[in-house]
Chain A
Amino acid sequence: MSTATKELTKQEALFEYLVRLADDRLILGHRLSEWCGHGPILEEDIALANIALDYIGHAANLYEYAVEIEDEGRHRDDLVYFRNDPEYKNLKLVELPKGDFGFTIARQFLFSSYSYYLYQLLSDVEDEQFRGIVEKHFKEVKYHLRHSREWVLRLGDGTEESHERIQNAFDDIWTYTGELFYQDEVEKLLQSNNLAADTTQFKKDWKNLVSDTLEEATLDVPDFDQFMVEGSRNGLHTEHLGHLLAEMQHLRRSYPDADWQ
């Protein structure tokens, strides 16, 4: 194979884009599933586990389509269990440890409000199968937004402790939100073929929804223009992802032929 920089093909770009979307959802689903059996109250335990399952389902569909696009005979499990952290392209936002309930809700709200606008644009991509996947997930994404938004309002405008905790969570996590709008040649190429969402189109709407919700919850809106971390889409991660993958991949790597049957 030639070492010269070769032109990215549409197929390669779409594969990469699907994997990015899937990685976000797989890792967040995994983080959220850590609440199973530890939720603050039974009903919320169930709600969080349901949302975790939604994300893992979304990831499964996206990986499946990604390997189909790639057409090299890989299975979606090869992507999930046999890639190391630099090959994972998820946002750092989703790999951070689950923290307390306030942190989890703050992250859920930031991610699901972002997903909401993202899926809205993706509903128009010029690829029938991709569009079908988006349509199916969008319903659940709308519910995730409702669930987390209602919680932000209650924790922010709740007790002194809940207010303080969720405010701290938003302040801590803010620096990870810049990457939500990261774009590179992969996305640019797809955008020109109407196969990816142009995130700049909804950045303003997202900011408005987030600030309106935080204000309604009596919370201070952190500075949107502060320092933001970057590098996720190029495989740069926090130390937390390695631990998560070690746990998630351990069984499959120890028993590569392990099977559900």
Chain B
Amino acid sequence: MSNNKKSQSEDTQWPLWEVFTQPRDGKPHEHAGSLHAPDAEKALENARDVYTRRKEAVNIWVVPSDQIVASKGEDEGPFFDPADDKPYRHPQFYSVPRATKRRS
């Protein structure tokens, strides 16, 4: 416990931010990666420099990483296992026309 506290105080890095970029108008924002920044404005600027220098995005979101609530690894079973015994949840009885493109 005390060990943990010590390592925290020695961490001189700025807070961590998650970066989401929108590739084009109308497209959803996608997680691009994370970075360190002292505050939101600098996080946006850093995100621009790190993730969008080659026209990858038209918009950026930055979110403090510690504000993201994530499911836990041990939740895996009950959270994500498909109800395989409920076939009506899977539209597998329809044949997909060959001309239909896969969503990229």
Contact = CB atoms under 8 A, between A and B. Distances in A.
Interface stretch (A43-51, A186-194, A233-241): A43-51
B88 interface: no
A147 B53 contact: no
Nearest to A41: B36
Contacts of B13: 41
A136 to B, nearest CB: 14
Most buried by B among A41, A43, A46: A43
A44 B67 CA distance: 23
Given A146-B45, A150-B42, A43 B36 contact: yes
A258 interface: no
A43 B53 contact: no
Contact of A43 (B39, B41, B46): B46
Interface in B24-66: 35-39, 41-42, 45-46, 48-50, 53
Contacts, number: 29
Q: Which bracket fits the contact residues of A?
A: 10 to 19
Nearest to A42: B36
A154 interface: yes
B93 interface: no
B14 interface: yes
A50 B42 contact: no
A50 B46 CA distance: 11
Contacts of A146: 45
A150 B45 CA distance: 10
A37 B36 CA distance: 16
A50 B49 contact: yes
Nearest to B43: A43
Interface in B61-104: none
Contact of B49 (A46, A150, A154): A46
Interface of A: 41-44, 46-47, 50, 143, 146-147, 150, 154
Given A41-B36, A154-B38, 4 more contacts: A43-B35, A43-B49, A46-B50, A47-B46
Among all A-B residue pairs, the 7 with the closest Cβ atoms: A43-B46, A47-B49, A43-B35, A46-B49, A50-B49, A46-B50, A150-B41
